Amino acid sequence: MSETLHKEPNELTEEVAVRRLAYSDLPAVISIERRSFPTPWSLAMFVLELSKPSGICLAAHAGDGLLGYVVCSRYDQVWHLMNIAVAPEHRGSGVAGQLLRRLIAESEGKLPFTLEVRVTNHRAIGMYEHFGFRSAGVRPRYYHDNGEDALIMWLD
């Protein structure tokens, strides 16, 4: 009897690398963004964040393909994780974790992080908790598309 190898839909066959996000990545970023969020960021929002010299914007890629990205802005004494997304077909493969590890390393651990996440996004909340983020309250009706609350999380 022959054995067949089963490949999970989100299993990556190439090594994932993380680098700085570039303007040339924006078409792929917009594609992932539109498939990931009910109210996606506009191209202008990404351009604005990329133009901030104090921010950290990273891309995860394998070969020529962009798998995901993270956008983080520095505000005085805190890092604000603004946006993180992984292409739907690569979710669950560790890409978001790689992006977060690199983000935390590049921030040099001198300032805390904060973020907002939908209270129903249990998978993301679990990942953030795995990295040490803790709940610090709720922003009622934070998301404009459906009025959903946002969980505020902090990492010191």
Question: Where in the sequence numbering do the catalytic residues fall?
Answer: 116, 128
Sheet strand arrangement including 65-75: 17-20, 56-62, 65-75, 78-86, 113-118, 150-155, 134-139
Q: How far apart are CA 86 and CA 70, in angstroms?
A: 9
The residue behind tokens 């977060």 is 100
If 0-12 CB within 10 Å is exposed, 13-18 middle and 19+ buried, where does residue 104 land?
middle
